[in-house]
Amino acid sequence: MNRQTAQRTWTARLLLVACFLAPMSSVVAGEPDPAVPNSEIRGNVLGTDGRPAAGVEILAYHLATEEVFTTTTDGKGRFTLADLPYGYFDLAVRSSDGLYVSDQVANVSPTGQNVIAFRLQSFNLSTRADQRAFPGADEIPVGLASVTDQRMVGDSFWRSAKGISIVAGGAAVILLVLAGGSGSTASPTLP
């Protein structure tokens, strides 16, 4: 390999390393990205009578940090839990009748919102098996907060700063490996 080719190979390697490290610097530094919206859970609650449940308390227990976040529904049964850490949440609804535990957990992504709709139902013979304690409250549940709709909205993780950094860094590593080669390349000769 001649000197000029060796110099280009090292230059390419340095550029690839720079491509790998540049996007990762914002992830390592832990700087918040102001373009990423706050993660939240929002939705609505219907009571046991099928009408919007106004003034009921929503409890969200973060499974990783064990923090409990709360809010209250408005006159139309709507609620918003904002400024949440991303991760999985166990949910419950506390009304004047008692505590209703959710039959599903909610997943909040770093860049989006989870929209969820509940319908409260008292325990009966078929739902008694679902009776369980809610980690964020000391009272015994009286029913289920059945999830009738749940969906994620907002940007996906792969469009966030961390997701883009992971993709860019992975691509840089692959290019670095491919550019490394064996050091010399044979060129074909014509007969």
Q: Is 51 in the same domain as 106?
A: yes
Looking at residue 108, its pLDDT comes to 86
0.95 exceeded by the pTM? no
| Domain around 104 | 40-154
Q: Is 23 in the same domain as 82?
A: no
The 10s digit of each residue's pLDDT in 42-87 is 999 999 999 999 999 999 999 999 999 999 999 999 999 988 888 8
Total number of domains in the chain: 2
The 10s digit of each residue's pLDDT in 97-154 is 999 999 999 988 876 788 999 999 998 876 666 678 888 788 889 999 999 998 887 6
Q: Is 89 in the same domain as 18?
A: no
Who's near 134: CB < 8 A, 6+ residues apart? 59, 61, 90, 92, 99, 101, 141
Does the pLDDT value for residue 29 go beyond 50? no
Q: Is 118 in the same domain as 51?
A: yes
Q: Is 141 in the same domain as 123?
A: yes
Q: Is 90 in the same domain as 72?
A: yes
Q: CA distances (Å), 114 to each of 97, 105, 140, 173, in order?
A: 26, 11, 26, 34
Q: Is 129 in the same domain as 66?
A: yes
